[in-house]
Chain A
Amino acid sequence: MWIALSQLFFSIDFLAASVRFAMPLASAAVGEIISERSGVVNIGLEGMMLAGALGSMMGAYYLEDPWLGLLCGMAAGGMVAAVHAFVVITLAADQVVSGAALNIGLLGLTNFIYRAVYGIEERPIVAHFEPVAVPVLSRIPILGPVFFNQIPLVYVTYGLVIVAAVIIVRTRWGLELQAVGEHPRAADSVGLSVSRVRYLTVIACGLLAGMAGTFFSLGQLHTFIEGMTGGRGFIVLAVVIVANWSPARAALAALMFGAAEAVGLRIQALDLGVPYQFALAFPYLLTLAVYIGLAGRSRMPRALGQAYVKD
């Protein structure tokens, strides 16, 4: 059994799979970090990711190109986010309930639209992303095949994490974003438009969540299945807290959860006598354990979750 376990952890396949599973989480996490650091929490991530999955699948179906599909997926996520933004910013309604409502509604809506368009026929296989090896980097021993032989979306996500980290720390936008999330009144008093900043961050989050959803439909499965995001939008929420709202740490945390998922699959594949339910439950158990153990709330944006209403 120990041989099997070491095979488990030292195989390139396993590590590459971890990266593969981690990237959608990382992408959505970056979006959520941007949104939360400006003060808006997005429970509806799961719904936005689903919308992205369906949107990109349909885009790829009609436009026969995965990149165009990606754009459609991102647009879908962005549209859902726009609704959330309107409800919680302009109408100043409760952010958590709005997110929950969007999750429920979108689960139904994506099912509805998919069935309405494609019926109960065989699921269409659409134009999708294939893994692409980066010329020089993919030859580095171990790291190469693990990190640089993935679908292009993964590379986009790498860049995303870096760009996000830079923006937050070194640009004017990042400073304003943080101010809005820490002390919206102060930001307002120096002339920043709290609403505008928040609208932008929430929609950005939706776009990135849409991209995360695209990983599922155009990356892993090449089609759309109802509820295919399987609760990962919620895992992202925990990732953000555990990562203390830093994009770089979120990427690391995402890798850990990606590995958990890969472990789950491996356990089933290796037939170690562990019931498959445990394998499937493992990522959620891990999330729970990590959240309980590591919740570092030292950098939680002060105004997170509170609507800002000018009198």
Chain B
Amino acid sequence: MPALLSMHGITKIYPGVVANDRVELEVLEGEIHALLGENGAGKTTLVNILYGLAAPDGGSIRWKGAPVRIHSSAQAMRLGIGMVHQHFMLVPRFTALQNIILGAGSERRVWLDLKRAAQRVRTLAEQYGLEVNLEAQVQDMDLGMRQRLEILKALYRGAQLLILDEPTAVLTPAEVEALFEVLRRLAAQGHATIFISHKLEEVLAISDRITVLRDGHNVATLPTREASQPGLAQLMVGRPVVLEVKKGPARPTGRRVIEIEGVSVEREHGRDRLDGISLHVEAGEIVGVAGIDGNGQGALLEILCGLSRPDRGRVTLLGVDVTDTSPRRIAALNVGRIPEDRATMGLLPRLSIKENLILQSYARPPLSRWGILRGRQMGEFARRLVAEFDVRTPGVELAVENLSGGNQQKVILARELHHDPEVLIVANATRGLDVGATEYTYRRVLEGRDRGAGVLLISSDLEEVLCLSDRIAIMHAGRIMGVVPAEAADRTRLGLMMTGTPLSALEGG
């Protein structure tokens, strides 16, 4: 049986990096084909080329046996290739139906025929088991429904090959199972799926064949039944080791540096509501907050940083009540914050490294006196930090936006950690970083803890939380489902809690 899709010798070069180096990929009809690799392996580049979002510098593509050159997503869709991106491409103010029909008019019809479209969509939804509320606005939907919507969108346009880019990142374990059901139904009806992931368990559970990429080139293609977790891990990384950080035992002093008591936030749009959260962090320990993105972590973070106020409850940092206060007051406390969005919350991209480094301490001596900044002290300060935190840069006057992601992270770490904070709040800090930068961040965070700081680590990456935390709290729908010590944590229980089963139910039996 000829392959549905065949990509041969695909090469793509960006300035400074070879994203794809003569990559091969073959997908058959009715197959679920996993594309596996670490961050930076070249998976997304490859499918971007397939979907017309990028043009290859070399190689060829054959679709249903015939050679094609894909210039645009519109063309890809016409061929029958659909894509569900990692970050959903949905217009928030539109309804589900509006999003589905956007740009999908086959004939050049001017008038919108919502009734007929809705009919077609409902038929499709039933056929594949995709439950979506057509009248709801996307901004009110949870992530699981948004994903189903994206899949419906692709199917509505007649996709025969569906590309899913890291689809399970935003799903609870139960939703993952539901997604797999849909994929199996698709396969049974002749559709093919490219399933991009770096999560070995899921790849093994759902796929028929696996192609592994590393550093832009093929490493192996094999049937799933012949694959194993350690084997795949080795193929992905090139060495038989997974990220390992030496973590000594915690030594909590009993002094509570972060106290969150009964905090609640009402929000219109459903996501980011908080419902009576209570949590505390002691000096000398790391408390990890795990949970699927969008279950209130964002709201919690905003309150801890003083960017918003809770409707009920109290927050205390280092003994100071900060419930009703401004970011300015919190910044004045000895708190270090590593934010999740480097560009918009952590750094001022157009300003220099030096100016970013002084962001926490510019208002006090020695960096300023009577409102006047002291240039020489600022320069010395910056150079010292750059050396201490190993930031690779030709100089401190360089604009921060010119640094690599890892080095930008180091600037943030340097700024927040150098004054030995007693409290550290870390949120999704390693998103988008490569292995080296991630390891470095972990090391620094652990160092902070060992020096006696209390660390609150919020992350949607369960591995990260398991790796670093001494105690783990699970958030779901704005509530804490339970707090377990790290040694007693196992993925199944955590998974259940992330879906909404409180710890008490699990332990009560």
Contact = CB atoms under 8 A, between A and B. Distances in A.
Given A187-B103, A190-B103, A191-B103, A172 B112 contact: yes
A226 interface: no
B91 A187 contact: yes
A186 interface: yes
Contacts of A266: none
B72 A182 contact: no
A186 B77 CA distance: 14
Contact of B74 (A173, A179, A182, A191): A191
9 contacts: A171-B111, A171-B112, A172-B105, A172-B110, A175-B101, A178-B91, A186-B91, A187-B102, A190-B89
B144 to A, nearest CB: 19
B91 to A, nearest CB: 4
B85 interface: yes
Q: Which 10 A-B pairs have the closest CB atoms?
A: A191-B74, A190-B103, A189-B89, A186-B89, A183-B91, A182-B91, A192-B103, A191-B73, A179-B91, A171-B110
A249 interface: no
B90 to A, nearest CB: 6
Nearest to B153: A190
A191 B110 contact: no
Interface in A161-198: 170-173, 175-176, 178-179, 182-183, 185-192
Contacts of A173: 110
Given A186-B90, A190-B89, A191-B74, A179 B102 contact: yes
Contacts of A189: 53, 73, 83, 85, 89
Interface string A230-253: 000000000000000000000000
Interface stretch (B92-100, B439-447, B471-479, B480-488): B92-100
Interface of B: 53, 72-75, 77, 83, 85, 88-94, 98-99, 101-105, 109-112, 153
Contacts of A302: 92-93
B82 to A, nearest CB: 10
A293 B235 CA distance: 63
A76 B132 CA distance: 48
B94 A182 contact: yes
B125 to A, nearest CB: 19
Nearest to A170: B112
B94 to A, nearest CB: 7
A179 B90 CA distance: 9
B77 A191 contact: yes
Contacts of B101: 175
Nearest to B105: A172
A185 B74 CA distance: 13
A176 B153 CA distance: 15
A188 B89 CA distance: 9
Nearest to B72: A191
B102 A176 contact: yes
A183 B91 CA distance: 6
Given A182-B93, A192-B102, 16 more contacts: A172-B110, A175-B94, A175-B112, A178-B91, A178-B93, A182-B91, A182-B94, A183-B90, A183-B91, A186-B89, A186-B91, A187-B91, A187-B103, A190-B73, A190-B89, A190-B102
Contacts of A179: 91, 94, 102-103
Contacts of B85: 189
Contacts of B102: 175-176, 179, 186-187, 190, 192
A185 B92 contact: no
A118 to B, nearest CB: 44
A175 B93 CA distance: 11
A175 to B, nearest CB: 6
Contact of B92 (A175, A183, A191): A183
B155 to A, nearest CB: 13
Nearest to A190: B103
Contacts of A183: 89-92
A40 B102 CA distance: 20
Nearest to B100: A190
Contacts of B72: 191
Contacts of B103: 176, 179, 187, 190-192
A242 B77 CA distance: 40
Contact of B111 (A170, A176, A190, A192): A170
A176 to B, nearest CB: 6
Nearest to A182: B91
A296 to B, nearest CB: 15
A310 to B, nearest CB: 8
A288 to B, nearest CB: 29
A183 B87 CA distance: 12
A302 B90 CA distance: 13
B84 to A, nearest CB: 10
Nearest to A310: B53
Most chain-A CB neighbours within 10 Å: which of B72, B75, B90, B104? B90
Contacts of B111: 170-172
Contact of B109 (A172, A178, A182, A191): A172
A147 B59 CA distance: 66
A153 to B, nearest CB: 26
A11 B285 CA distance: 79
A39 to B, nearest CB: 12
A173 B91 CA distance: 15
Contacts of B89: 183, 185-186, 189-190
Interface string A297-308: 000001000000
Contacts of A172: 105, 109-112
Interface string A267-307: 00000000000000000000000000000000000100000
A32 B495 CA distance: 51
A97 B98 CA distance: 34
Given A171-B112, A172-B105, A189-B85, A182 B73 contact: no
Contacts of B112: 170-172, 175
Contacts of B99: 186
B19 to A, nearest CB: 12
A175 B117 CA distance: 14
A178 B105 CA distance: 16
Contacts of B94: 175, 178-179, 182
Most chain-B CB neighbours within 10 Å: which of A175, A188, A189? A189
A176 B109 CA distance: 13
Most chain-A CB neighbours within 10 Å: which of B77, B83, B102? B102
B73 A175 contact: no
Most chain-B CB neighbours within 10 Å: which of A171, A183, A185, A186? A186
B91 A188 contact: no
Contacts of A188: 73
Contacts of A178: 91, 93-94
A188 B76 CA distance: 13
B109 to A, nearest CB: 7
A175 B98 contact: yes
B451 to A, nearest CB: 41
